[in-house]
A and B are shown apart, each in its own frame.
Chain A
């Protein structure tokens, strides 16, 4: 029946009003009317009272007076804890707002010492404020260029413009002035992500998304003001911008992040732009001869239903056999193509390997079960908006990824900055699995290596932790190999239980054949630790499945940081030892398993395991297997990332 009083909140029992039952009874009109109007009056009166204030407002005002009254009438002593307190092992916080709070958790308000430690030594980051997506990476006239989404005004996202830096080796960066700011109607609401294309004659063109004054997402063309300037400091926006606007059928806010262009067999340039139609993520295709006029191809490069908006789409060839990168236009028999998308819905980057059909501009995945958005991720930790470029200087394809923060924005504001870039990684097709790409820190990373320590054939009995005496442990490059006791592998009983890093109990959950690995950024007492480890699960059919995880649950005593356990299944082939490379750089840990087949990036914010108190350990928490580990650990130098010096000497 009609709800006669919509202003009253629905009670959970959904009580119906007496008029409902009364309507069916026969009674004199006068009585009916009186009752009806009486109830109506009551209802309206009640609506007036409640509607005016709102129950939550009322509570707030009460409390306000209440606590003020408390402050003036009660003595300070009575404000102390009311419960049994820590002496009885009871947490004050257990019935507070936070659902899962440690029993003995003491919250550490961040101090400047803890916060300033978090800045990295050799990962790209601007001097201050907020950064996100990598933009337009390229190599030009002897310099690697890196552009990025930047907020010049705050340590949170907003007011986005393009930052710029250059380097000789992708490690030692020098900051340059902002490349592009939001000074046109077509990008006044944001100079968003874009990509560079180097033409055969060496000219550079940049395509990027602008958020217009009406918040429409359009594509714009820009190019260097002075091609003879190797630093490419000044940029010109094409006067006829925008060159592309959302096509019919595409929402004006679902059209962004144009890719690097590649040549078609007809000699035209082709780009792809991510979007969505209902819940289907899609990569739209356009051809152009001049980067100014575009023709849209029917359909799309590819689409996957249920994946939502595709951001930062990337499309590039990889060689099936060679250990080098391929220029973006390359095609042929020994070549596979990768489609990658950043899913807005879950903030993860996914890729898939398949075949590109040049004639109609489509791409088919080799294995539809692990199609884009439902299969393999570049990185199982915090890593998004990734973009590759072809480095013609060293014949390699290089990947950049935005590494956000996983602490509170209040801490970001306090420390004055937010976000890092991943270490640049080379990308190669993993021809051993055929399904994966291999990512590995660019070789120039090794130029930062200082003194090293080697540990050979260290035996870790089940349930042991072994400290690694390497001195300082906040800037490290670790290469490790693990061999698990063969007998234990054979003897272990298999089970039907499915394992996943994210739902497991982390490094503390002991299995027969794992977990074992490294404890990074751990203090002496292990009160803070970030385990990165392997976990081998044996199925009831006797098959072994290896998982690679990064456990943040005890990485910090602070309560306002991410405590999730990241990770995934990692393919381990016959005859392979378990291998792990880890870069520790203050508040970032990047871990590469099996030569980069599975990668996890994690942001870590310890309160105690910082500066000289940070240590690294080996551990084996398996119950039935011993593990032998061999490692080499290097101290890493700083990259001294700083502004480009005025005198030109660096």
Chain B
């Protein structure tokens, strides 16, 4: 009996220590459950310190301004490297990579600013438009490769992050408040 009480007491202590995180986790988890890529969503948000005490709008902003922008920039960097490497020997591949470079420039320079401005000023349909477009650009880049795509992983990440962002924007658009 004594050991049981002691054991339960020891269990509660760490639980108490984790409690603030649990509550935070709840909004992120609740939000991410409404997206098709729960794990990706939770990871991306929880590993970003700004998600502490963030509301849904801030979560959307983080997903776009940090996660999507960074992933898209990484992809564009990779495309630039590939274009400078031996890949340029195949003209079809070169064409696809150039087209992808353009699409990713648009994601970073067009979609992301559009989404951020829309989130900040409350005209959410343009945030939805921008996030949907980013997903589509990543997808379109992927299907342009005549053979095996060197960007499959990156395109999938960018696509999925965009879809998560679009889902969060949808939550804001259809929310009760």
Contact = CB atoms under 8 A, between A and B. Distances in A.
A36 B9 CA distance: 12
A392 interface: no
Given A96-B142, A156-B114, A409-B106, A211 B85 contact: no
**Which range contains the number of A residues in contact with the other chain?**
35 or more
Interface string B13-33: 011001001100100000000
A641 B71 CA distance: 42
Given A23-B7, A71-B85, A92-B147, A97 B142 contact: yes
B102 interface: yes
A465 B145 CA distance: 36
A51 B174 contact: no
A483 to B, nearest CB: 42
Given A68-B85, A71-B82, A81-B146, A6 B103 contact: no
Contact of B140 (A51, A211, A251, A559): A559
A217 B157 contact: no
Contacts of A82: 147-148
Contact of A253 (B22, B46, B81, B122): B122
Given A54-B44, A79-B147, A156 B174 contact: no
Given A29-B6, A215-B121, A2 B11 contact: yes
A76 B120 CA distance: 47
B144 A109 contact: yes
B54 interface: no
Contacts of B142: 96-98
Contact of B117 (A29, A158, A410): A158
B137 A279 contact: no
A72 interface: yes
A363 B122 CA distance: 28
A279 to B, nearest CB: 6
B109 to A, nearest CB: 8
Name which of B111, B117, B129, B157 has the most chain A CB atoms within 10 A of its CB.
B117
B122 to A, nearest CB: 3
A81 B147 contact: yes
Interface stretch (A56-64, A521-529, A569-577): A56-64
A559 B47 contact: no
A23 B103 CA distance: 55
Nearest to A254: B122
B11 A59 contact: no
B169 to A, nearest CB: 12
Contacts of B25: 6
A101 B86 CA distance: 30
B139 A79 contact: no
A475 interface: no
Interface in A154-204: 154-159, 189-190, 192
A55 B144 CA distance: 27
B118 interface: yes
Contact of A107 (B82, B85, B137, B144): B144
A70 B157 contact: no
A414 B15 contact: no
Nearest to B57: A253
Given A409-B110, A410-B137, A92 B3 contact: no
B166 to A, nearest CB: 14
Name which of B82, B130, B150 has the most chain A CB atoms within 10 A of its CB.
B150
A410 B18 contact: no
Nearest to A342: B125
24 contacts: A2-B15, A33-B7, A54-B47, A55-B39, A56-B40, A59-B153, A59-B157, A60-B154, A67-B150, A68-B85, A71-B82, A71-B86, A92-B146, A92-B147, A96-B142, A97-B143, A97-B155, A157-B126, A278-B177, A409-B133, A410-B102, A413-B110, A559-B140, A560-B140
Given A68-B81, A252-B122, 17 more contacts: A4-B18, A9-B43, A23-B7, A23-B8, A54-B47, A71-B85, A71-B87, A79-B147, A80-B147, A81-B147, A97-B156, A105-B143, A189-B121, A408-B103, A408-B106, A410-B106, A413-B110
Q: Shortest 8 CB-CB distances between A and B: which pairs?
A: A253-B122, A63-B153, A410-B106, A81-B147, A2-B15, A560-B140, A71-B85, A29-B3
Interface of B: 3-4, 6-8, 10-11, 14-15, 18, 21-22, 25, 38-40, 42-44, 46-47, 71, 74, 78, 81-82, 85-87, 89-90, 93, 95-96, 99, 102-103, 106, 110-111, 113-114, 117-118, 120-126, 129-130, 133, 136-140, 142-144, 146-157, 159, 173-174, 176-177
